[in-house]
Amino acid sequence: MALNKLKFNSINVTPAASEAIRFNSSANGLETASAGGSLVKISSSTISSGTSSVSITSGIDSTYKEYLFIFNNIHMSQDCEFHFNLSADGGSNYNVAKTTTTFRAYHNEAGSSSGLGYVTSYDLAQGTGTQHLADTGGSSDDETASGFLHLFDPSNTTFVKHFISSFNRAQNATAGNHFIGGYGNTTSAINAIQFTPVHGSASPTLEAGTITMYGFK
């Protein structure tokens, strides 16, 4: 049976749909409030073959304190890395200084190669370039990467902008996980983000996959 009314001594609270009951700020009574913690889908980008980068320039604002990006089966034109960068000017420039740390674990199908540890070559120390998210495979159907990136309070103008990510990748008959944590060292509001494939002087492209952005309500 649905709960329609809660009686607490002399306090009556009648919650509406999608509301929760909580103590008030004085801790001497009860009140109703919107139930928190839900994910709200903001946008989804389906990658077309030959895409050089994916930029999200709308929807990142003060509406939510946390944004979640879900990456599903990101597929590249060749062996390369999947990177991202942040913008504080609506996508005109992706050059926010970042400090990061990277942890990686991997194991191949033959059981002959494995590793676990920090990868300092992927880290940035106040670097404005793109930040590594994952190694990704080439054109084979078993070479993709999937994962997520959390961006915290991007519209805050007092503190730096923290982020964490986790990616699982299949590449060259090897399974691997990459974990990255760091922050964008700016007190300006972050309002755009860009994802790109990177491989030295080559020009790899994104070939397939989806990137979906959510806000935490």
137 inside domain: yes
Question: What pLDDT is recorded for position 31?
Answer: 73
131 inside domain: yes
Domain that includes residue 147, residue range: 39-216
**How far is the C-alpha of 137 from the C-alpha of 140, rounded, in Å?**
7
33 inside domain: no
pLDDT band at 10 (very low <50, low <70, confident <90, very high): very low
The residue written with tokens 């740390």 in the block is 101
Q: Mind listing the pLDDT tens digit for each residue in 108-125?
A: 999 999 999 999 999 999
Question: What b/e string do you get for 100-134 counting C-beta neighbours within 10 Å, with b at 16 or more?
Answer: bebebebeeeeeeeeeeeeeeebbbeeeeebbbbb
pTM of the prediction? 0.82
Question: What pLDDT is recorded for position 24?
Answer: 73
DSSP letter string over 144-166? -EEEEEEEE-TT-SSS-EEEEEE
Question: What pLDDT is recorded for position 97?
Answer: 98
> Is pLDDT at 192 greater than 70 in this prediction?
yes
> Is pLDDT at 11 greater than 60 in this prediction?
no
Question: What pLDDT is recorded for position 141?
Answer: 77
50 inside domain: yes
What's the total number of domains in the chain? 1
pLDDT band at 170 (very low <50, low <70, confident <90, very high): confident
> Is pLDDT at 169 greater than 70 in this prediction?
yes
> Is pLDDT at 187 greater than 50 in this prediction?
yes
Mean pLDDT confidence for 68-75: 96
**Domain holding 46: CATH number?**
2.60.120
11 inside domain: no
- Pick the more confident residue, 87 or 32: 87
Q: What is the mean pLDDT of the chain?
A: 89
122 inside domain: yes
177 inside domain: yes
